[in-house]
Amino acid sequence: MLGEIRGEVRFKEPLCFHTSLRIGGPADIFIIPQDAEDVRKALAFAEKDKLPYFVLGGGYNTLVKDKGIRGVVIKLEGCLGRMEFHGEEATVGAGAGLSALIREGANLGLGGIECLIGIPATVGGALAMNAGTHDGAIGDFVSAVYFLYPDGTLGELKPGNGAFVYRGLQFPPGAVLLGARIRLTRRPQREIQADLKQRLKMKKATQPLALASAGCVWKNPSSDFAGRIVERAGCKGKRIGGAEISAKHANFIVNRGGATAADFLALMDLARERVWKQTQIMLEPELKVVGE
């Protein structure tokens, strides 16, 4: 059945090659589908052999543990990358880059989603995480999400009814997001470009973008920014092995070189414990921790 997949199938693929943190052991079976039909075949293979599977987008918000992932990893970055613009709406595949969508739209004088610039993501990963900033999240602009149920049938989700939540999307367990329709707003190109430039400048000034990271480690609790709470707990700059709580932004843990998932998780424990002792706030991870 694996032989029917037209995309790539690899065995024991190191996942550190596929996460922005550059951390992670191997995936037993690693599939880069060529199209939605390949995704369907990968799901059928996992079902037939009773194997667990995990969907990876760009790996920009995922910490894979050191022994890797048993079963199947389906990586969508680079496939399902089509984008079509009709009026003030884009239909976009889950494997397309979020920034490519923003830039293509900008070239056509279609904006509205400038607040998402600088978030490294596939569209699928951005939808699953409801990625965003304090100015808005992708869910604010979505008119439909398309996905495959684990049995390979096609599903459609209309947002509303609270499907998009803070850094998450409630969709059927095990479903693979295939794409979405995104609402855009007509705006002079020059204005969009100036807005994007300004926002990227701000990101560069406040986030440790030169070092390997997975973005924000913790969700913001209702009372304050997680970064500020971690900083007040005296965690900025703390280091375990190759992992370090960024001195620039305390909600980022960066890989200074050679960090393991164990280092990263130990630093998360340290921050969580210190914050709990000082504030009685239990931090909740934003990034996804997977594997063994």
Helix count and strand count (H, E) for the chain = 6, 20
Considering the rule CB under 6 A, would residue 288 count as an interface residue with ligand FAD?
yes
Strands 26-32 and 253-255: unpaired
The span from the CA of 63 to the CA of 290, in Å, is 6
Q: Smallest distance from the beta carbon of 186 to ligand FAD, in angstroms? A: 25
Considering the rule CB under 6 A, would residue 133 count as an interface residue with ligand FAD?
yes
Of 165, 115, 156, 109, the C-alpha closest to 135 is: 115
The span from the CA of 237 to the CA of 240, in Å, is 10
Q: Is 114 exposed, middle or buried (0-12, 13-18, 19+ CB in 10 A)?
A: buried
Residue with tokens 């996460």: 19
Count the Cβ atoms, other than its own, within 10 Å of residue 209: 16
Considering the rule CB under 6 A, would residue 69 count as an interface residue with ligand FAD?
no
Between 207 and 260, whose beta carbon lies closer to ligand FAD? 207
Considering the rule CB under 6 A, would residue 115 count as an interface residue with ligand FAD?
no
Helix spans in 28-97 (H): 36-48
In the shown chain, the binding pattern of residues 70 to 109 toward ligand FAD, with x for contact by CB under 6 A and - for none, equals: ------x-----------------x---------------
Considering the rule CB under 6 A, would residue 227 count as an interface residue with ligand FAD?
no
In the shown chain, the binding pattern of residues 183 to 222 toward ligand FAD, with x for contact by CB under 6 A and - for none, equals: ------------------------x-x---xxx-------
* Selected binder of ligand FAD within 33, 125, 159, 227 (CB under 6 A): 125
Binding site for ligand FAD (CB under 6 A): 20, 54-62, 76, 94, 119-122, 124-126, 128-129, 131-133, 176-177, 207, 209, 213-215, 288
